[in-house]
């Protein structure tokens, strides 16, 4: 595990968060990267080659991309990569940093929180505060997670399109009681299993909306919502805008 002291780091600018859809076989040459980048991976894999070394970005890692870096990016597997570009002072990072993580969802929630702050034009104070908190958690990574909870999370990811996914089916999948399942989610994630399932559904819906390949109705079905009406209502309550408005506000970016 890589540990850093960020007490002297001063963030001078934060770009609006973006979500990169990287296709398999993609090759991209970055010259003198204009910002630092904090990159996550919800699915897929990217390889970076820099100064004769190879760095892997996948669901088991968080990546810091250094400012002024020159590297080649390879799309090993098609995937989705949330990214925050930023500028800062007093952070001496010249190599790509790959930080292992076993419990990624809390960091993705923090990313989505920052994204929503930008989306709703919240104050810079709130945005910078949320970003500093995210950096602090990334650099002081605590990746311990209960093995039964990890299995439950994996079951949710694999079955998120099932409209019948519930506390009962989830508890049965890991052979524990619903009461204990709820306790585990509240202890490690500070939310209930039902709330966690909704977050995963909304996160997947965001990815599909950003890809702009299928209709809102098809997205609602793929993400396990009982109806397109339920999807649109839940999405707006969670994100603050309708699925259509969200899709229109997003663009494709290169890392």
**Same domain flag for 134 and 192:** no
Q: What is the pLDDT of residue 93?
A: 77
Are 15 and 35 in contact by the 8 Å Cβ rule? The answer is yes
Q: What is the pLDDT of residue 177?
A: 92
- Answer whether residue 29 is part of any domain: yes
Both tokens assigned to 194: 């039902």
- Answer whether residue 239 is part of any domain: yes
**Same domain flag for 128 and 236:** no
CB atoms under 10 Å from CB of 231, counted, come to 22
Query: What is the distance between the alpha carbons of residues 77 and 55, in angstroms, rounded to a whole number?
Result: 14
**Same domain flag for 168 and 245:** yes
**Same domain flag for 135 and 14:** yes
DSSP secondary structure, 55-96, as one string? EEESTTEEEEEPTT--EEEEEEEEEEEEEEEEEEES----S-
- Answer whether residue 255 is part of any domain: no
Beta-bridged to residue 85, according to DSSP, are 37
The C-alpha angle 59, 139, 155, rounded to 5 degrees, equals 30
**Same domain flag for 135 and 222:** no
**Same domain flag for 33 and 110:** yes
**Same domain flag for 243 and 195:** yes
**Same domain flag for 241 and 120:** no
**Same domain flag for 16 and 111:** yes
- Answer whether residue 3 is part of any domain: no
**Same domain flag for 131 and 16:** yes
Domain that includes residue 194, residue range: 147-249
Beta-bridged to residue 84, according to DSSP, are 38
Element (H, E) at 222: helix 216-222
Instruction: Check which CATH number belongs to the domain holding 121 and give it.
Output: 2.60.120.810
The C-alpha angle 87, 88, 92, rounded to 5 degrees, equals 115
- Answer whether residue 214 is part of any domain: yes
Query: What is the distance between the alpha carbons of residues 60 and 103, in angstroms, rounded to a whole number?
Result: 8
Q: What is the pLDDT of residue 249?
A: 81
Q: Is 235 exposed, middle or buried (0-12, 13-18, 19+ CB in 10 A)?
A: buried
Q: How far is CA 14 from CA 74, 117, 119, 232, in A?
A: 26, 12, 13, 29
Asked which of 119, 139, 159 is the last residue of a domain, the reply is 139
Q: What is the pLDDT along the chain (255 residues), one digit of tens a residue?
A: 444 556 678 999 999 999 999 999 999 999 999 999 999 999 999 999 998 889 999 998 999 999 999 999 999 999 999 999 999 988 877 889 888 887 888 899 999 999 999 998 889 999 999 999 999 888 866 445 678 888 898 899 899 999 999 999 999 999 999 999 999 888 877 889 999 999 999 989 988 998 878 899 999 999 999 999 999 999 999 899 999 998 888 754 444
């Amino acid at each position: 595990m890589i540990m850093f002291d960020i007490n002297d780091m001063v963030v001078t600018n934060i770009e609006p968060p973006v979500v990169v859809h990287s296709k398999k076989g993609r090759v991209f040459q970055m010259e003198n990267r204009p910002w630092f980048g904090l990159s996550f991976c919800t699915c897929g894999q990217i390889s970076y080659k820099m100064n004769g070394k190879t760095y892997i970005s996948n669901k088991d890692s968080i990546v810091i991309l250094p400012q002024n870096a020159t590297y080649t990016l390879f799309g090993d597997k098609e995937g989705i990569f949330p990214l925050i570009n930023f500028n800062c002072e007093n952070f001496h990072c010249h190599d790509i940093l790959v930080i292992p993580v076993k419990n990624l969802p809390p960091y993705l929630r923090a990313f989505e929180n920052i994204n929503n702050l930008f989306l709703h034009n919240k104050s810079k104070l709130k945005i910078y505060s949320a970003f500093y908190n995210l950096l602090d958690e990334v650099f002081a990574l605590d990746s311990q997670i209960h093995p039964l909870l990890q299995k439950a999370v994996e079951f949710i990811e694999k079955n998120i399109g099932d409209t019948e996914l519930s506390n009962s089916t989830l508890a049965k999948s890991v052979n524990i009681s619903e009461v204990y399942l709820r306790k585990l989610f509240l202890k490690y994630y500070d939310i209930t299993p039902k709330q966690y399932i909704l977050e995963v559904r909304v996160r997947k819906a965001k990815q599909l909306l950003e890809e702009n390949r299928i209709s809102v109705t098809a997205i609602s079905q793929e993400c396990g919502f009982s109806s397109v009406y339920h999807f649109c209502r839940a999405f707006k309550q969670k994100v603050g805008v309708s699925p259509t408005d969200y899709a229109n506000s997003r663009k494709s970016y290169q890392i």
